[in-house]
Amino acid sequence: MATVKPKPAAGDGAYGDRVVAVEPGGIEPVADADRHGRPRQLFWTWASPNLEFATIFVGVLAVSAFGLTFWQAVLATAIGNALGSLAHGLLSARGPRHGRPQMVLSRLGFGFWGNTLPAGLMSVTAGIGWFAVNSVSGAFALNTLTGLPVLLTLVIVVVAQVGIGFFGHNLVQAYEKYVFAVLAVIFAIGAVFVLGQANALGGTGNGGLGGFLLTVGAAFGYTAGWNPYAADYSRYLPASVSGRAVGWAAGGGLFLSTTVLMLVGSASATITTDKTATPTAAFTSHMPAWLAALTLLAITLGAVAANALNIYSGALSFLCLGIRLPLAWRRAIVALGFGAVGLILAAFGLTDAGSAYENFLLLISYWISPWLAIVLVDQWLRRRQPVDHLLDDRTYSNWAGLLSFVAGAAVSIVLFANQKLYVAPVPSVLPAVGDVTFLVGFAVAALLYLALARRPVVS
């Protein structure tokens, strides 16, 4: 295989740590002159976007939809979050070493063109799917807070999100940093009020093992949903930083924020509320007026924090499809396009948001699990091997990855999926099994890839 040198770096130091500047280029290697920051900044980079209502609602679903008691929900969400956060730390640690986005690094396990499948799924999941989900929660919160028409609040939220994502990496990081303190304080106060009124013995508890595994899968789908973004926000760090420090900061911020807010969500589900209210209104209805207003403001700011990452990483993933865009601001232009599509989809998602979100969480885990298995196994097989020359080689193929991905997803979904529209044979015969698609998909893809690619070609 011919050696292919990486493309020229995205900048020559002109971008550096400038905040109000459009990030140049797209998915090229980050120039040494543009690298900056410390590993600890990744803590709030990954904590802030999860201090929002979408995180809370996973905990609500655990009790209200999956039939768990409060303490069962706490345990199940913590397990799912821990698995997703551990993987996130491992993936984030590679960013400074290679200076490339996560879905570019994914080419190692899938080949240049084979990687277009997970990159395409990531583009749709992040730039459109998650973008729509979080825009809806932010719009509902702003609607409840201000009384403005919900469609107008949706437009306001989307414009803010797309604006941050358009400018790129440094503005995204700055927003996550400064909004963190505001969100942390408000949600901490809100958590005290919610836990003070919650029934620790609440919840029907009739979900059984099936409900428990559904909750683990939903929490994993939520937290691991950030995994394909991991290196996007660590790649600007100097190559000399500690990979371990990067991993702990990224994984720790993700685990702490998701686990605490899902706990609060589970607690809130044990409090009697108006069933006809919007999800955000129901969550804040039992709070004092001043705290309800602050919480609704925090939910809106948190939605923007999450979607700034979604629109930015969704655009990077789109550029990994191999489409040549000879534009200096190609990533920024793609972000605008995703924002427009996400706005339209979010507008349709303003009705029956809870049911749509439940299905979306499980569907995410169905493809991320086999993808994650291949990326982690490939990372282990290639440890201490030079790989940068493969990342832009359009002739580089690794069909073992694509085959393992398709097989892992197909086997797990066909046999183990448990959705309202489709119940696979295993849960239909054994309802107590629930939904273990994400576990089966990971195991099948990992074992098959390990068997097919024990000696990855790195020439």
How many CA atoms lie less than 13 Å away from 200 in the CB half-sphere? 2
Quick check: is 172 in a domain? yes
Q: Could you tell me if 77 and 262 are in contact, meaning their C-beta atoms sit under 8 angstroms apart?
A: yes
Quick check: is 407 in a domain? no
pTM for the full model?
0.89
Tell me which residue has tokens 């809806």.
136
pLDDT tens, residue order, the chain (459 aa): 444 555 545 455 678 888 888 888 788 999 999 999 999 999 999 999 999 888 998 999 899 888 899 999 999 999 999 999 999 999 999 999 999 999 999 999 999 999 999 999 998 888 777 788 788 888 888 988 898 998 899 889 989 988 898 888 999 999 999 999 999 999 999 999 999 888 877 767 788 888 899 899 889 988 999 999 999 999 999 999 999 999 999 999 999 999 999 999 999 888 866 666 667 777 888 889 999 999 999 999 999 999 999 889 988 988 888 877 666 567 777 777 777 777 777 666 555 555 566 566 667 888 999 999 999 999 999 988 889 999 999 999 999 999 999 999 999 988 888 777 678 888 888 877 778 888 999 999 999 999 998 655 444
Quick check: is 426 in a domain? no
Question: Which tokens hold the place of 158?
Answer: 């989307």
In degrees, to the nearest 5, what angle opens at C-alpha 367 toward C-alphas 363 and 371? 155
Say how many domains are in the chain. Answer: 1
Quick check: is 419 in a domain? no
Q: Nearest CA to 302 among 318, 280, 274?
A: 280
Domain with 230 in it: 35-352
Return the axis-axis angle of helices 289-319 and 131-146, rounded to nearest 10°. 160
Task: Measure Cα distances from 305 to 9, 33, 36, 242, 316 in Å.
Answer: 28, 27, 21, 26, 17
Backbone angles phi, psi at 29, to 5 degrees: -60, 145
Q: Could you tell me if 438 and 220 are in contact, meaning their C-beta atoms sit under 8 angstroms apart?
A: yes
In tens, the pLDDT along 204-246 reads: 778 888 889 989 988 998 899 999 999 999 999 999 999 999 9
Quick check: is 88 in a domain? yes
Quick check: is 12 in a domain? no
Distance CA 57, CA 18 (A): 35
Quick check: is 403 in a domain? no
Task: Measure Cα distances from 441 to 103, 119, 138, 370, 411 in Å.
Answer: 19, 18, 32, 5, 7
User: What CATH number does residue 300 fall under?
Assistant: 1.10.4160.10
Backbone angles phi, psi at 234, to 5 degrees: -110, -5
What region, left, alpha or beta, does residue 5 occupy, with left being phi > 0 and alpha being psi -120 to 50 degrees?
beta
Quick check: is 97 in a domain? yes
